[in-house]
Structure formats: C-alpha cells, structure tokens
Amino acid sequence: MNIPQISHHYVDVDGIKVFYREAGPKDAPTLLLLHGFPSSSHQYRRLMDALGDRYHLVAPDYPGFGHSDAPVPATLGGTFAYSFDSLADVIEGFCRALRLDRFVAYMFDFGAPVGFRLAARHPEWIEGLVIQNGNAYTAGLSPIAQEFTAMKPGVKGAEEGVLGLLTLEMTRSQYLTGAAHPERISPDGWTMDQHFLDLPGRAQIQIDLALNYHSNITLYPQWQAWLREHQPPTLIFWGRHDPFFVEAGARAYLDDVPNAELHVLDTGHFALEECLPTIAPRIASFVDRTSVNKDGQAERV
C-alpha cells in the first residue's frame, strides 16, 4: 500500500504568504490544483491521497481564501485589489517561486478563470487541462449564474446579493445540490469553507471578486480562441446537476477541442467530493498519456 505524505507550506509572493499543499515526487508529472469558491486547497485532500504516490501535486490557496494571507481589500483602503486578474497574478508568481513551468492544470469553478489567464500568459507551461465544472462558455451559465455574473459595482442590491451567498445554508447547498449520494459527501468541506468565509474582512473580499466576475465572461472568446489554437490535451468532468454551470458548458468545449475526453457525472457542483473513485483513475490515465519528459518525448503510454 502506497500512501503519500502530504506536506504543508507557505511561500512569499510579492509580500503575500501563499499557503499550499504538496505531495509526490518532484520529478514526477506535476498537477497544479486550482480550487473554486468558496473552497480552498482543502477540497483536494482526497485527490492528493489518491494520486500523490505517483504524481507531483501542488494545491495553493488564493489570497483571501483558506490559509493564505488576506490583505485588506482596496475597497476598504488596503493595497490589494481583489479581482480575477489579481488572483492570476499571485498564482503566476507562485508558479515562478516554486519553479513550476510545466504542468497539468486542474481547473474547478474559480480555478477556470485563474487557470485560463495563466494559460493565455504562458501556453508553454500547460501540459494539459483537467476541467471540472469550470466554465468558459455563455452556454454553460444557468439562470442563477447569469444573475450572479450580472452583478457589478454600482448595481443596486449587488453587494447585498453577494452577502446572501456567504451563509452556511448556501455553502452547504453548493456541496449537496444535485448529489446522487449526499451521504458520501463529508460535511468537513462546507464547514471548513464557512469557517474562512466568516473570518473578519473576508466578506468584502468575496464581494469584490463576485462583482468582478463579469470580467471572465468578457474573456470567454479569448479563452476559446486559445483552446482552438493550442489544442491542449483536455479531460473534462462535469456534474450534470450543477445549479450554476450546466452541462451545455461542458459540451461546448468539444467545439473548440474536438479530441477532449468528456465524462458527465450524476452529481452536482463539487463533483470530486462524490465521484473521486471515478475521477482519480481517469486523471491518472490522462496524465500518463500526456506527460512528457525533459527531452519532449512521452514518458508513458
């Protein structure tokens, strides 16, 4: 039985302490695990247990999430402007600090806009994409998501609308809505998420990011063009009962990356929580097929 050791670290990125979890041999193929809202690297704990004996897995917390620093937002007089560009800036610096210059990016929820920004800036870093309920198409936006993405600074009631999403009831529902077997989903996930959401100052961070989400919709055509141009090896998992990102968003990827591998799962938004036994071995097979060594030749077939 091979059980990996998972280590926990901080690295300084332009004065921000970024927390991350790491497992596996550093000379093995690397997966960069980009978490969603309102979660943190904690959401990847079981995946790291499943794959950390064979692959190098790295899972950071964004600024304002999990155990990473949460600088005072610019909207409250601080120096850090919380936007998706800013999150991508920090994760780009994180990759440089850890010398991650070739990896498969696992992109879930908020991880998609962060990951696609990285990909657009550094296509040479991207060995492949694992996309799990990470949207990049207007077809993938449910009516609920359309209302969310319409919230912008200055829109009446927008901030109050975001605050309504930061309650324990809403956090729990993100995990359980659409789950085929809710008893398989640990309450630790939403309990941990809510702990961090309730910390002083964190609500404004989420308001700022929510009111910036529309910037991602604007970039969808650019990300789609990037996919068409680069044709990265792509593995897609999608919980078909996701109340935010609907199945059409998963299938839209196939228009731009026809060779992508798609698995639609009978679950909701946090598919990994319920479907790890299905997802983990398919990720392993995918990484084995796509990983290359330093000479650019396939390591495994």
Cross-strand partners of 127: none
Q: What is the per-residue pLDDT across 123-144, written as a single tens digit (0 to 9) for each?
A: 999 999 999 999 999 999 999 9
The two tokens of residue 232 are 């990265």
Confidence class of residue 117 from pLDDT cuts 50, 70 and 90?
very high
Instruction: Give the CA count within 13 Å in the CB-facing half-sphere of 201.
Output: 15
pLDDT of residue 220 exceeding 80, the answer is: yes
pLDDT of residue 293 exceeding 60, the answer is: no
Ranges 64-73, 185-194, 227-236, 288-297: which has the least confidence = 288-297
d(CA 151, CA 139): 18
Cis peptide before 113 (omega within 30 of 0): no
- CA angle 38-43-49, nearest 5°? 175
pLDDT of residue 291 exceeding 90, the answer is: no
Report percent pLDDT > 70 for the chain.
Answer: 97
The pLDDT of 193-213, averaged and rounded, is 97
Q: Which amino acid is at 268?
A: G
- Start-to-end C-alpha separation, the chain: 24
The answer to whether 291 touches 300, Cβ cutoff 8 Å, is: yes
pLDDT of residue 154 exceeding 90, the answer is: no
If you search the block for the tokens 């359309």, which residue do you land on? Answer: 146
What is the predicted pLDDT for the residue at 155?
A: 84
Q: In 3D, which of 275, 109, 263 has the Cα closest to residue 179? A: 275
The answer to whether 96 touches 18, Cβ cutoff 8 Å, is: no
What is the predicted pLDDT for the residue at 292?
A: 57
Q: What is the per-residue pLDDT across 175-199, written as a single tens digit (0 to 9) for each?
A: 999 999 999 999 999 999 999 999 9
What is the predicted pLDDT for the residue at 298?
A: 41
What is the predicted pLDDT for the residue at 1?
A: 76
Helix (H) or strand (E) holding 84: helix 84-97
What is the predicted pLDDT for the residue at 294?
A: 36
DSSP 292: B
Q: Catalytic amino acids?
A: 269
If you search the block for the tokens 């960069």, which residue do you land on? Answer: 32
pTM here? 0.95
Mean pLDDT in the chain?
95
Measured CA to CA in angstroms, residue 26 lies from 61, 95, 103, 114, 178 at distances of 20, 14, 11, 23, 37
What is the predicted pLDDT for the residue at 152?
A: 87
Which residues, including other chains, have CB under 8 Å from residue 204's CB and lie 6 or more apart?
73, 75, 76
What is the predicted pLDDT for the residue at 225?
A: 98
Q: Which amino acid is at 92?
A: E
Please give the order of strands across the beta sheet that includes 234-239.
Answer: 6-13, 16-23, 56-60, 30-34, 103-108, 126-132, 234-239, 261-265
Confidence class of residue 277 from pLDDT cuts 50, 70 and 90?
very high
The answer to whether 84 touches 113, Cβ cutoff 8 Å, is: yes
The answer to whether 55 touches 284, Cβ cutoff 8 Å, is: yes
d(CA 46, CA 41): 11
- The three-class DSSP label of residue 237 is strand
What is the predicted pLDDT for the residue at 19?
A: 98
Q: What is the per-residue pLDDT across 9-36, written as a single tens digit (0 to 9) for each?
A: 999 999 999 999 999 999 999 999 999 9
Q: What is the per-residue pLDDT across 43-95, written as a single tens digit (0 to 9) for each?
A: 999 999 999 999 999 999 999 999 999 999 999 999 999 999 999 999 999 99
